[in-house]
Chain A
Amino acid sequence: MNEVMKKEERAVPTYRPATDILEREDGFYIYMDMPGVDRQQLEIDLNGDELTVSAVTSMQLGENEHFSEMQFGNCEYRRVVSLSDIVDRERIKANLSDGVLELHLPKVERIQPKRIEITKG
């Protein structure tokens, strides 16, 4: 089966969620807009250097509802972020609230600036 056919079979469209990546004193922060996503539908996988975030929305539509305008609908969010070596993979934290996923990626200890004491010879 070719790629095009595979895409047509998919029930919902896939979007790359809008993402902010920023750095603060205590490491990197990633924010992803994922409206309509419930915690159970969110998956975060770290495979080597690639951090994959994927989720499907779970918005319920009424049975007899008629739409006059539809600018968003159920969809799949998917985004891959590459991590550099200075991210401490063991301490990555994720939090989903109000449809925004917040990832905190602390830096590994050795990267923290450190003053070296000079001892008298």
Chain B
Amino acid sequence: MVMDFNTLYNFPFRFDRLIDEFFKSPEAEGRRLAYPPLNLSSDDANFYVRAEIPGVDIKDIELTLTDKTLVIKGERQTEQGRYYRQERPAGVFHRVVTIGAAVDREKVSASMTNGVLTVVLPKSEQVKPRTISIEAA
């Protein structure tokens, strides 16, 4: 081994780190359950779907909107070389998001910032909360 990445070098410090990892929050494990991790949220006007997809160009991501679902598809390429360590997920990914309400399909937009994909799905007029004015009799 030419590079000292994971040896007993600097042992006491590394031992601390080992203990840290052992007790680290289960959240970290949860992140690996499905790829990519998703955040689903909404406000009065839109639904938001966010996904962490670092290293993938937005052009290489396929978004399909059907009646009730949004499908996110893509592929993460691996780098060429002799690997010492490989932890980054690679290969084809595919996630289906169920959108529980009608969206304005024409106005859906998607953007990618710092490896985070954001899809904004404007709520259709019918499902938006509305205030009904009551006229005095």
Q: Which residues of B contact A94 (CB under 8 A)?
A: none
B38 touches A69 (CB 8 A): yes
The answer for the CA separation of A24 and B87 in the assembled complex, in Å, is 18
B2 touches A35 (CB 8 A): no
Q: Which residues of B contact A65 (CB under 8 A)?
A: 41-43, 48
Q: Does B134 contact A (CB under 8 A)?
A: no
B52 touches A21 (CB 8 A): no
B5 touches A22 (CB 8 A): no
The answer for the CA separation of A27 and B60 in the assembled complex, in Å, is 29
Q: Does A56 contact B (CB under 8 A)?
A: no
A21 touches B5 (CB 8 A): yes
Given known A-B contacts A20-B87, A22-B84, A72 and B43 have beta carbons under 8 A apart: no
The answer for the CA separation of A21 and B78 in the assembled complex, in Å, is 12
Given known A-B contacts A24-B81, A99-B54, A67 and B40 have beta carbons under 8 A apart: yes
Given known A-B contacts A29-B79, A71-B39, A86-B2, A35 and B53 have beta carbons under 8 A apart: yes
Q: Separation in Å of the B60 CB from the closest CB of chain A? A: 11
A interface residues, how many (CB within 8 angstroms):
45
A83 touches B4 (CB 8 A): yes
Q: Separation in Å of the B41 CB from the closest CB of chain A? A: 5
The answer for the CA separation of A54 and B99 in the assembled complex, in Å, is 36
A72 touches B3 (CB 8 A): no
B3 touches A20 (CB 8 A): no
Q: Separation in Å of the B22 CB from the closest CB of chain A? A: 13
- What are 20 A-B interface contacts by the 8 Å CB criterion? A18-B88, A20-B78, A20-B88, A22-B79, A22-B82, A22-B84, A35-B114, A35-B116, A37-B114, A49-B10, A61-B41, A62-B43, A64-B44, A71-B31, A82-B5, A82-B6, A82-B7, A98-B54, A98-B115, A100-B115
Sort A-B residue pairs by CB-CB distance and give the 6 closest, nearest first: A99-B115, A99-B54, A22-B81, A35-B115, A71-B37, A35-B52
